[in-house]
Amino acid sequence: MKRVYVSRDMASVALGADEIARTLAQAGCDVVRTGSRGLFSIEPLVEVEMPEGRIGYGPVGAADVGKILDGTHPHRLGDVGALPFFASQQRFTFARCGITDPLSLEDYAAHGGWRGLDAARAAAPQQVVDIVKASGLRGRGGAGFPTGIKWQTVLDAPDGPRFIVCNADEGDSGTFADRMLMEGDPYCLIEGMAIAAHAVGASRGYIYIRSEYPFAIDTMRAAIDRAAGRIAPFVIEVRAGAGAYVCGEETALLDSIEGKRGQVRAKPPLPALKGLFGKPTVINNVLSLAAVPFILAEGAQAYADVGFGRSRGTMPVQLAGNVKHGGLYEVGFGITLGELVNDIGGGTESGRPVRAVQVGGPLGAYFPPSMFHLPFDYEAFAQAGGLIGHAGITVFDDTADMAQMARFAMEFCAVESCGKCTPCRIGSTRGVEVMDRIIAARDAAPVAAEGAAGGYLGEALHSRAPSRIDTGIEAQTALLRDLCDTMKFGSLCALGGFTPYPVLSALDHFPEDFGAPAPIEQAAE
Amino acid sequence: MTFTRETDHGTPPAIATGKSVTLTIDGAQVTMPEGTSIMRAASLTGCSIPKLCATDNVESFGSCRLCLVEVEGRAGYPASCTTPVADGMIVRTQTERLKQLRRGVMELYISDHPLDCLTCPANGDCELQEQAGAVGLREVRYGYDGATNMGQAKDQSNPYFDFDPSKCIVCSRCVRACDEVQGTFALTIEGRGFDSKVSPSQGQDFLSSECVSCGACVQACPTATLTEKKVVEIGTPDRAVVTTCAYCGVGCTFRAEMRGEELVRMVPWKEGKANRGHSCVKGRFAWGYAQHQDRILKPMIRSSVTEPWREVSWDEAIAYTASEFRRIQAQYGARSVGGITSSRCTNEETFLVQKLIRQGFGNNNVDTCARVCHSPTGYGLKTTFGTSAGTQDFDSVMKSDVILVIGANPTDGHPVFGSRMKQRLRQGAKLIVIDPRRIDLVKSPHIEAAHHLPLRPGTNVAMMTALAHVIVTEKLYDEAFIRERCDWDEFEDWAAFVSQPSRSPEAVEPLTGVKAQDARAAARLYATGGNGAIYYGLGVTEHSQGSSTVMAIANLAMATGNVGREGVGVNPLRGQNNVQGSCDMGSFPHEFSGYRHVSDDAVRGLFERKWGVTLDAEPGLRIPNMLDAATEGSFKGLFIQGEDILQSDPNTHHVAAGLAAMECVVVQDLFLNETANYAHIFLPGSTFLEKDGTFTNAERRIQMVRKVMAPLNGYADWEIVQLVAQAVGLDWSYTHPSEIMDEIAELTPTFAGVHYARLEAEGSLQWPANEAAPHGTPTMHIDGFVRGKGKFVVTDYVPTDEKTGPRFPLLLTTGRILSHYNVGAQTRRTANTAWHPEDRLEIHPADAENRGIKDGDWVALRSRAGETALRALITERVAPGVVYTTFHHPDTQANVITTDYSDWATNCPEYKVTAVQVALSNGPSHWQEGYAEHSRLSRRIVPLEAAE
Amino acid sequence: MHSLENPREDATLIRLEAADALIAQWTRRHGAARDQLLPLLHMLQEEMGFVDDALVAPIAAAFNLSRADVHGVVTFYHDFRRVPAGRHVVKICRAESCQARGGAAIEAAAAERLGVAMGGTRRDGQVTLEAVYCLGLCAVGPNALVDGRPVARVDVGRLDAIAREIAA
Amino acid sequence: MNDENAVMSTADRLIYMANQIARNVAVMGQDEAAAMVEDHIRSFWDPMMRRQIVALAAERPDALSPIAAAAVGRIAVHCR
């Protein structure tokens, strides 16, 4: 019986993988469902086990099964791992993803699984924390806070129960690494959490997964069942979100697990000291926790050797949107944005010129190609007025209307605002309105901005009266900047606080879309 | 006195750690307790940071973002409400950059707020308006055509306040006040983002929601979103006077906020140590009775109760009163008259009434309504500890680890303290409830009793002894405490008694109906769970073994070492505002003020010297004995100040017969109460708003009552008593209640340090307040019991003679409800009737089904004493075999049913146990209809002009 | 102070009884600590199609919360429906990566092809069309979720197929 | 009290009260209990009630329980 490998990843399934798997099974194959390799331009992908190794075919459809099995299909890729897209990666965290059966404990162990946990459990908690510190691992959720220091705070907290919480509320558009890992190598996350639990003395962990990820929820639950004995006495439970982006904010996430409205808590107190149920809590992103087994198994140095500046190790970068070779690309920090978009991603899928990329999800800045020299590094991006976030890169071609994208950023914030703080609650809605005025003015024939009527007491009292509002582009753009200032510095959390990034970056880099003259020169190159 | 709002420091004080930190705020170095917020620190140093979502009776929230500050070395602009001070911190609160950010936030607020300031009821008293000015907002550039939350319908369902969501800024202060302060959790934010809205329960109106109308939300609201109807009607206040509530024994202090001579609203005083800035629906809102049309403002007399009342001048009324009492005494002897003091009047007034009886009438026939509520507390705690009062202050509960509530229903009867207790329970203290009913505390949002022992009414002593049995036999008692603080031999006697197998939880289970294992678990928890505090109410005292239960409670506290420090103790929850005070003032027939027996020659000598008369050394008559003596013909005249014994005392037939047999009954009250139907002289009383004086609450706290308006009836009650005293020939010449308090202090060692000047300075004093305790005594028995060694008293369980049988198979027990107070004379004359328009009979579904009773049916309630009718409420709150009702409405006349069995030691009536039968009926009973007619006839008034 | 005393239709009553049983079963197995509230709401919605306002009282009672508290939670999360959805639910991703791949046009086409505006349920109750913000399939958009099944690279042809599926 | 007459007569009530006090302290033993009842009646009953109970004890010798009777007997000695 021929052994074939077909991904069960949600993206693969969305592309038709289930149908292919069914057809292969009907054809008498032993179908192993794996995670996704991470290159979607070759999906659906079928790998056939041959004496010389796994031979890939993709993209293929159910109708192609015959030709795949007899080796004649034109989309024969050979050894998938040898494709340049994969060969150039440094897969520390995603080493098994796409290769193993995600729920097979044997597969996991055979591919180096549990070595990190065993090493951790052989060491004292403080030693484990020290190793994580030495690796230079920083929070992969976006903030980039050193993971080891967070763990140290929890380890040092007074005696009593403590928790490990995995933030798998990956709501940023353009990111899917958490989902892929949970669907493709769930034990890796479980192992990472078990190591964290040992390091800080926690006996219970939660994985909070957004409800938009039903496959990840099912896979994690199944994996936790199977691995329960291996990680005992540590216990993990999956909690499903319920449609609230803001719950990706760690304190809102904690409130949501506690069964409350997912509103952001004011800090301090830090969750490390007063987190879930008011107890000391390690709350880390999926990718942070999933990086830990490698660090423990291979040593801190092996991880820290890779990277750039203060950004150590690898980052699973996600190439998304209008990109030819979209997918997951794990690589050491320091690679430039241009290399990722053009060399790895192959430019746009539409074939038109790249106009902009948004890095770090809906709260990330838009960058024009003129900034493609930026190295992938927390500090470099921050300096350039952006953020790496969860390392999703969404590519737009030259048909994109950046004013509409700025409007969408405000709209998204309005849809997802928890409503606690005023700048976000009211500001995002006002932001949409201001953008609408700017777009309307832009689209209308250019006229001089109306001046304020002024002078009348009534109008002074009723400064909101329509006649008093200057709806001209300049006034509205100034208002937009003021609003962004209020939101950026006044908001309680990153949702309201970072929404100005896409808005202002769009405004700054693409002023022509906002009815202003284009920048004088395209800098660089 | 001009109107200023109380200072709001924005966040509550830090939890004391004993450490302090030093920082710099706007260039000034300040030292603050660790954990203080920057906002509070700034406010305490006189620098005000703009704020909207912060207020100092709820935890900081960090949502409005107006209070942003700059902290050197920190990125961004932290919110000062959520950022604690730290050593060496350098904070700037007023910079151009901060002004710009705050203006930006305020511009957003105002972009979704109506611009009707000039016509808004909160104009001038609106934090949003004030802060908009403070941050220098001059224009709103967002336009008028955008999304808005304005234009939503007003909710005017609550009788006392309006909810106008169009004006809401979603600061959540109301929601948090409801959660954190009141503990009802009736409000939430519905939806999210721009659509976030304050929602009572499930988007309902306030009246049909879970709201209990405590008003904490109204107080918390920074805008006109939640506004008292009175403010809408009258306008914002222009002055405020701090005074004390005249409802329950919690003794909340309020700022009576006035506009001219009109009372606009009552705002709980944050400095008030009893209520800490909180209140309930009665105190905050239900004061309309003071101006109610039913109030009698002119004195009236009549020669027979079958005649209509005749309005007369004060002179005539007073002279007639004096002459009648002198006539009766001349005819029937010195002991043929007496008086009843009021637990609703001030200490000074109560003192004068008992002085009138003792000095003027020369006997000790004075009693008070405490007879029917907490007289067993006086007896029991005096016997065991040496003082007739609770051991703690209310704050103490915040240090309790295990709270045992027996025969009390704090969330209804003492709601403000109930909220306090719930705060502590939410912090993790454990709760044991011993009560036949499943009261709210047993299970309500975020509160759940660890143990509920639903005992059969009347078995308190057996229950408490069973708990003691467990504590003694399992050696959970505190031997060191007992050896040091109590009489060890007495303890051994008691221990031997409670250890008898017949006293075990298992043995008494058939009697109490409480599962032995639950009783054992509860006993272990109380004995070993840390600081154990007992709170009890009338469910303990109003039994034929009331005094025994009080002593059994005291035994339990002593045995476990739970007396003499914060967080523990034995705490009676006193019913009326000044029931503690009326007892303190010498209202009982056997003792002078300060609980000193009339037979004590030294004490009597002190009074005789001061008053210049010889005083009776023999105890006088208690209320039921006065009524007996009246029926026998030896008691003929009664002066009743502010009590309605016909409605509130047991066995109405007995009370009516006694009153009817008297020749002169004087009623001094606000209204023609039920007792007045049998009165010959009516002296109109004054409300607490119309006089100066003091009340003493359940924690022995003496607090000032201040006159906020002139008495509508012409005189304060103390002046009326003085007029009567002068008319009977006494040389009283008090010009102000403070002089009465001076006399009390002179004659009463525990009050020796209580003077108005001291009360003004301290805010309040808990007695004993004297040279030994110049600032009063929050916790009693700290270094030893007042009586010396704590006394263990063997409390045998002697069942009541009131027994169920085939004719009367159910047990009736009685209680109170949140919206009403006592016999309802005040609250029935307010909009509180919106919540509880009538008394209902709670009956278990099984008992109802057996009798074919459906929810809302009229049922006849019969006992050996009488019959009444009311409507049924089917609920599992009561156990099968038990029925329950309140007695707030005179139409119900629940006391027609109650018997005249009473406590063996104090004659406190057994309100809590009556054997009854319940059956379907067509409506009010024959007796009720007859009584209604009698009342109508008895209340006819011939006005002064017509009378002349 | 008052409870909801609306007379309930028989159907509602039957649904309430079913819900009571489900709630009781859930709390028996998982306890009634507050953190079980979201899982319970998910289960009820799964079993009953939506979280009826009438369920709030029994849920509140089971968890010892106020009705207000539960109502606040139900209305916070967009997943929880207070009214039933159509027989089919189509969710179209509106987030940036799908927009970069022509998502806006697909949103409009979906509304047109399915005969219902975004966020609404068709008059015949056959289909509800909703926005979703990212399904994590960001390299293969525009994406949709049709009755829970992910569909990538949605184009007009795929929309027609979806419309046919729903009509069936 | 019987079912037909809800209100006790004064005499009945006084006897009932004395017996009730006695029952509640009976656990202390006859002598101590009698002393306790005596003390209680002295402290809390007005002189006329005391005279009445003394008279009642004489009129209705079986009405009082032994403890109550003993206590009232001691009061009688002092009651002129």
Q: Looking at the complex, report in whole angstroms how far the Cα of residue A409 sits from the nearest Cα belonging to chain C.
A: 9
Report the first-to-last Cα separation within chain B, whole angstroms.
43
Q: Which residues of A touch C34 (CB under 8 A)?
A: 258-260
In this structure, are A365 and A431 located in the same domain?
Answer: no
Whether A and B touch (3+ CB pairs < 8 Å), yes or no: yes
- Using the predicted structure, report yes or no on whether residue B73 has a pLDDT greater than 80: yes
Q: Looking at the complex, report in whole angstroms how far the Cα of residue B834 sits from the nearest Cα belonging to chain A.
A: 33
Give the domain CATH number at A342. 3.10.20.600
pLDDT tens for each residue of B231-260: 999 999 999 999 999 999 999 999 999 999
Q: Which residues of C touch A174 (CB under 8 A)?
A: 95-97, 138
Percent of chain B with pLDDT over 90: 87
Domain boundary among C24, C56, C76: C76
The mean pLDDT value of chain B amounts to 94
Q: How many domains does chain A have?
A: 4
Would residue C143 count as lying in a domain?
Answer: yes
Q: Where are the beta strands (DSSP E) in B542-636?
A: 569-572, 591-592, 596-597
In this structure, are A385 and A414 located in the same domain?
Answer: no
Chains that touch B (3 or more CB pairs under 8 A): A, C, D
Would residue C20 count as lying in a domain?
Answer: yes
Residue D5 banded pLDDT, cuts 50, 70, 90: very low
Mean pLDDT value of segment B699-713:
96
Whole-number Å distance between alpha carbons of B399 and B326: 55
Q: Are A128 and A195 in contact (CB under 8 A)?
A: yes
Distances (CA, A) of D78 to B57, B335, D22, D50, D54: 63, 21, 20, 10, 10
Would residue C44 count as lying in a domain?
Answer: yes
Mean pLDDT value of segment B16-26:
94
Residue B634 has its nearest CB partner, among D8, D23, D48, at: D48
Structure tokens at B133: 């000015």
Which residue from A minimizes the CA distance to B60? A266
Q: Does C73 touch chain A (CB under 8 A)?
A: yes
Cβ contacts of B2 within 8 Å, gap of 6 or more: B238, B239
- Backbone angles phi and psi of A287, in degrees to 5: -70, -30
Q: Does C62 touch chain A (CB under 8 A)?
A: no
Structure tokens at B597: 């027996």
Domain boundary among A37, A52, A83: A83
Would residue A89 count as lying in a domain?
Answer: no
Would residue A412 count as lying in a domain?
Answer: yes
A243 and C78 within 8 Å at the Cβ level: the answer is yes
Chains that touch A (3 or more CB pairs under 8 A): B, C
Chain B residue set in contact with C, beta carbons under 8 Å: 184-192, 199-204, 207-213, 443-448, 818-819, 835
Q: Which residues of D touch B791 (CB under 8 A)?
A: none
In this structure, are C94 and C38 located in the same domain?
Answer: no
Cβ neighbourhood burial of A487 (10 Å; 0-12, 13-18, 19+): buried
In this structure, are A365 and A378 located in the same domain?
Answer: yes
B905 and D7 within 8 Å at the Cβ level: the answer is no
Residue B188 has its nearest CB partner, among C2, C4, C72, at: C72
In this structure, are A129 and A171 located in the same domain?
Answer: yes
Helix-helix angle A125-135:A286-298, to 10 degrees: 100
Would residue A294 count as lying in a domain?
Answer: yes
Residue B888 banded pLDDT, cuts 50, 70, 90: confident
Cβ neighbourhood burial of A110 (10 Å; 0-12, 13-18, 19+): exposed
Whole-number Å distance between alpha carbons of B246 and B347: 12
Question: What domains are defined for chain B?
Answer: 20-135 (3.10.20.740), 161-291 (3.30.70.20), 310-373+579-748 (3.40.50.740), 390-572 (3.40.228.10), 810-937 (2.40.40.20)
Would residue C83 count as lying in a domain?
Answer: no
pLDDT computed for residue C9 by the predictor: 60
Helix (H) / strand (E) containing B867: strand B867-874
Give the domain CATH number at C121. 3.40.30.10
Which residue from B minimizes the CA distance to A452? B141
Domain boundary among A376, A398, A420: A398
Q: Does C7 touch chain B (CB under 8 A)?
A: no
| Structure letter (DSSP) for residue B179 | I
Q: Which residues of A touch B84 (CB under 8 A)?
A: 268
C79 and A211 within 8 Å at the Cβ level: the answer is yes
Whole-number Å distance between alpha carbons of B871 and B840: 5
- Using the predicted structure, report yes or no on whether residue C3 has a pLDDT greater than 50: no
Q: How far is CA B124 from the centre of its chain?
A: 33
* A-C contacts at Cβ under 8 angstroms: 149
D48 and B548 within 8 Å at the Cβ level: the answer is no
CB contact residues (below 8 A), chain A span 300-359, against chain C: 318-323, 326-327, 349, 358
Residue keyed to tokens 């905050």 = B284
B193 and A266 within 8 Å at the Cβ level: the answer is no
Number of Cβ atoms within 10 Å of the Cβ of A50: 12
Chains that touch D (3 or more CB pairs under 8 A): B
Would residue A90 count as lying in a domain?
Answer: no
Mean pLDDT value of segment B255-279:
95
pLDDT < 50 stretches in chain A: 447-461, 522-525
pLDDT computed for residue A460 by the predictor: 42
**Closest-CA residue to B701 (of B271, B265, B214, B183):** B271
pLDDT tens for each residue of B489-527: 999 999 999 999 999 999 999 999 999 999 999 999 999
Residue keyed to tokens 């008297």 = B662
Q: Where are the beta strands (DSSP E) in B446-564?
A: 447-448, 451-453, 532-536
Which residue in B192, B195, B202, B840 has the most chain C C-beta atoms within 10 A of its own C-beta, making it the best mutation to test that interface? B202
Q: Does B798 touch chain D (CB under 8 A)?
A: yes
Question: Which comes out higher in pLDDT, residue A15 or D2?
Answer: A15
Cβ neighbourhood burial of B315 (10 Å; 0-12, 13-18, 19+): exposed
Residue C66 has its nearest CB partner, among B191, B210, B448, at: B210
Structure tokens at A194: 């078990």
Would residue A91 count as lying in a domain?
Answer: no
Whole-number Å distance between alpha carbons of A392 and A364: 9
Domain boundary among C76, C104, C121: C76
Give the domain CATH number at A286. 3.40.50.11540
Give the domain CATH number at A461. 1.20.1440.230
In this structure, are C92 and C156 located in the same domain?
Answer: yes
pLDDT computed for residue A465 by the predictor: 56
Which residue blocks in B299-346 are alpha helix, DSSP H? 314-332
Helix-helix angle A214-231:A177-184, to 10 degrees: 50
pLDDT computed for residue A516 by the predictor: 87
B864 and D10 within 8 Å at the Cβ level: the answer is no
CB contact residues (below 8 A), chain B span 158-177, against chain D: none
Structure tokens at A458: 């009534």
Domain residues for A292? Answer: 105-304
Whole-number Å distance between alpha carbons of A335 and B344: 82
**Closest-CA residue to B16 (of B398, B577, B570):** B398
**Closest-CA residue to A118 (of A200, A203, A207, A231):** A231
Number of Cβ atoms within 10 Å of the Cβ of B851: 16
In this structure, are C64 and C99 located in the same domain?
Answer: no
In this structure, are C62 and C122 located in the same domain?
Answer: no
Rg (C-alpha) for chain C, rounded Å, is: 19
Mean pLDDT value of segment B461-477:
98
Whole-number Å distance between alpha carbons of A114 and A128: 15
Structure tokens at B145: 């055509």
pTM of the model as a whole: 0.94
Whole-number Å distance between alpha carbons of B829 and B687: 14
Q: Which residues of B touch A491 (CB under 8 A)?
A: 65
Annotated binding site for [2Fe-2S] cluster: which residue ranges of C? Answer: 93, 98, 134, 138
Residue A490 has its nearest CB partner, among B105, B142, B147, at: B105
In this structure, are A242 and A280 located in the same domain?
Answer: yes
User: Is the bond preceding A519 in cis, omega lying within 30 degrees of 0?
Assistant: no
Q: Which residues of B touch C72 (CB under 8 A)?
A: 188-190, 199
Q: Looking at the complex, report in whole angstroms how far the Cα of residue C7 sits from the nearest Cα belonging to chain A.
A: 30
Residue keyed to tokens 């009867």 = B413
| Structure letter (DSSP) for residue A29 | -
Domain boundary among A276, A304, A332: A304
pLDDT tens for each residue of D22-45: 999 999 999 999 999 999 999 999
Which residue in A267, A277, A430, A481 has the most chain B C-beta atoms within 10 A of its own C-beta, making it the best mutation to test that interface? A430
C2 and B185 within 8 Å at the Cβ level: the answer is no
Would residue C110 count as lying in a domain?
Answer: yes
Cβ contacts of B41 within 8 Å, gap of 6 or more: B23, B25, B30, B32, B85
Whole-number Å distance between alpha carbons of A435 and A500: 12
Domain boundary among C19, C52, C76: C76
pLDDT tens for each residue of B193-222: 999 999 999 999 999 999 999 999 999 999
Residue C34 has its nearest CB partner, among A174, A245, A258, at: A258
Rounded to the nearest 5 degrees, what angle is found at the Cα of A88, between the Cα atoms of A82 and A91? 90
B796 and D45 within 8 Å at the Cβ level: the answer is no
Would residue C2 count as lying in a domain?
Answer: no
Give the domain CATH number at A66. 3.40.30.10
pLDDT computed for residue B871 by the predictor: 95
D13 and B900 within 8 Å at the Cβ level: the answer is yes
Q: Does C4 touch chain B (CB under 8 A)?
A: yes
Taken in order B401, B407, B411, B417, the sign of the CA dihedral is negative
Which residue from C minimizes the CA distance to A240? C39
pLDDT computed for residue A468 by the predictor: 67
Q: Does C119 touch chain B (CB under 8 A)?
A: no
Domain residues for C125? Answer: 88-167
pLDDT computed for residue B865 by the predictor: 87
Whole-number Å distance between alpha carbons of C104 and A94: 33
Q: Does A95 touch chain C (CB under 8 A)?
A: no
Would residue A479 count as lying in a domain?
Answer: yes
Cα dihedral B52/B58/B61/B65 (nearest 10):
20
Q: How many domains does chain C have?
A: 2
Structure tokens at B736: 């102000």
Q: Looking at the complex, report in whole angstroms how far the Cα of residue B836 sits from the nearest Cα belonging to chain C.
A: 10
A425 and B138 within 8 Å at the Cβ level: the answer is no
In this structure, are A298 and A258 located in the same domain?
Answer: yes
Which residue from C minimizes the CA distance to B176? C69
Would residue C1 count as lying in a domain?
Answer: no
- Using the predicted structure, report yes or no on whether residue B354 has a pLDDT greater than 60: yes
pLDDT tens for each residue of B902-941: 999 999 999 999 999 999 998 888 878 888 888 888 889 9
Would residue C145 count as lying in a domain?
Answer: yes
In this structure, are C69 and C114 located in the same domain?
Answer: no
Which residue from B minimizes the CA distance to A267? B82
Would residue A439 count as lying in a domain?
Answer: yes
Whole-number Å distance between alpha carbons of B169 and B53: 9
Which residue blocks in A343-493 are alpha helix, DSSP H? 378-383, 402-416, 422-425, 427-443, 457-461, 473-490
